[in-house]
Amino acid sequence: MSDLHELSALETAAAIRRGDVGVLDVVDHALDRAGTLGARLGAFAVLTPDRAREAARSLDAALARGEVAGPLYGVPTAIKDLTATAGVPTGRGSVVTRGWVPEQDDDLVGLLRDAGTVSLGKTAVPEFGLPCYTEPAGAPPAVTPWDPTRSAGGSSGGAAAAVAAGVVPVAQGSDGGGSIRIPASLCGLVGIKTTRGRVPAGPAGGDPAGLSVAGPLARTVADAAALLDALGGDRTWPGEPFVPVAPPSGGHLGVAQGAPGPRRRIGLTTTPPFGDLSGLLGPVAIPAVVDPVCAAAAEDTAAVLASLGHVVEPVDVRLSDEAIAAFLTLWAVLALADPVAPEDEERLQPLTRLLRARGREVGPMAALGALHAAQVETRRVVAARAHLDAVLTPSVALPPRPVGWFSADGPETDFARQVAFTPWTAIANLTGEPAIGLPLGWPVVDGTTLPVGVTLRGRRGEEALLVALGAELEAARPWAGRRPPVW
């Protein structure tokens, strides 16, 4: 079958279970596309064809023995290069750590393996996952398949490029400030930022602040739900500091494929949650100006939801200056999480050096104060929207940016542009709430059709509600048939 990449993840697994195609055939097809399209789009940091084919042969043999095959059995995927994978180089987007080979998998790698997926390798990330774009030193940038002159976003940019180009139907991402939802918006995908604690962060543990979580990227809501079930499982993990509520009966995939749920009350805003950030960002502060095409995507989505019987009302999601300062402080401190020898600091990219320098200026009491301020703001934000089932915003404030746009004028301007570009996403990371990004805007920008996403943020543990809304919106405004020019 020469058109295997046209199949969704669920369709691929179904074809394998029926015996229409073997896992090895599917993996070979994906590897061919990874070597061509993946290379053009900067999607991969490392490819592991021998390991992938060995895993595929093992799965084919198990299926021949009559072993049970789940909804993602034999589906090709890839692991984000921030995620430790035993025996596979995990460079974390930096020339300093490019040769690191972990001895132990992160827990989610085993979960994906147990689900029967086959990893082709590691997807590209920016240095240490810090920026919202993926342009690592000494490697090609990850670009959106809809216009390869424009960024795929970050830090899950490589994963999003691979999925949007039909190299793999689903991929794992992680999100500490929008790093799943931003690439989903720029590449025309579904992306789910999970509830804090939904996906295990062991054995090394995530960041102490709990900002970053793992989640799925996919072309359809059902595929994203299936990968969410694989990542989250149906059990708790001893020692995990954050434990969410149990998944829904029948899993999130059951929700995605089921009948529409109850009518919901949804808040809408297209106004950035902050104003003048002078004094918080250092010498440069750029106003968050929302492009009309991004606002229109959210407003149109609100109209669709209302037509489906949901109640949509305006909501104010403004963050306090203290909350913004707390997030920026925590982000700078977390930039120091990767150990770097003093002699290697100058080899880091300018933005990384800037953030690490700011992190060193934060004393222990200030770091604890930032964590406390984030917790206080979480209580306020969650209480203020307690009457709402979800909050709808644009995913980002601007359409996909040209490669090099963020970093063109130095690291201070780089960081300020990132804050202005993605004003809403970090709220869910502060609160620990889930959010789903959906590709519901398709404006023509400079003569090219580009994806512009919207995001629904829900209550902790209620990914199922977001999946149900996403499935309803997908049925009302289908997007799975859209194909980028490189397809």
Interstrand relation of 118-123 and 390-394 (parallel, antiparallel or unpaired): unpaired
Q: What distances in angstroms separate CA 98 from CA 78, 142, 178, 216, 415, one per listed residue? A: 18, 17, 24, 25, 24
- Coil, helix or strand at residue 435: strand
> Is 155 marked active-site?
yes
What span, in angstroms and rounded, lies between the C-alpha atoms of 193 and 393?
14
- 198/242 Cα distance (integer angstroms): 8
**Is 58 among the residues known to form the active site?**
no
What's the one-letter identity of residue 424? W
Please provide residue 177's backbone torsions phi and psi, each rounded to the nearest 5 degrees. Answer: -160, 15
Mark 448-472 as b/e (b = at least 16 C-beta within 10 Å).
Answer: eebbbbbbbbbbbbbbbbbbbbbbb
> Pick the catalytic residue: 8, 80, 122, 212?
80
Residue of 8, 94, 119, 179 marked active site: 179
- The one catalytic residue in 119, 155, 212, 395 is 155
63: tokens are: 């299926």
In angstroms, rounded to a whole number, what is the distance separating the alpha carbons of residues 198 and 44? 26
Contacts 24+ apart (CB under 8 A), 410-413: 410/350, 411/350, 411/351, 411/353, 411/354, 412/281, 412/282, 412/283, 412/284, 412/354, 413/284, 413/286
Q: Answer yes or no: 80 catalytic.
A: yes
Taking the C-alpha atoms of residue 393 and residue 256, their distance in angstroms, rounded to an integer, is 21
Identify which of 159, 69, 172, 53 has the alpha carbon closest to the alpha carbon of residue 114: 69
Q: Tell which residue, 428, 29, 415, 361, has the closest CA to residue 191.
A: 428
Query: Could you please report the per-residue DSSP string of 324-385?
Result: HHHHHHHHHHHTT-S---GGGGGGS-HHHHHHHHHHHT--HHHHHHHHHHHHHHHHHHHHHT
Nearest to 483 by CA among 6, 37, 32: 6
CA 68 to CA 367: how far, in whole Å? Answer: 49
Q: In what order do the strands lie in the sheet with 118-123?
A: 44-47, 118-123, 76-80
Q: Which residues of 391-423 are buried (b: 16+ CB within 10 A; e: fewer)?
A: bbbbbbbbbbbebebbbeeebbbbbbbbbbbbb
Question: What CA–CA distance (Å, rounded) separates 317 from 321?
Answer: 13
What is the set of active-site residues?
80, 155, 179
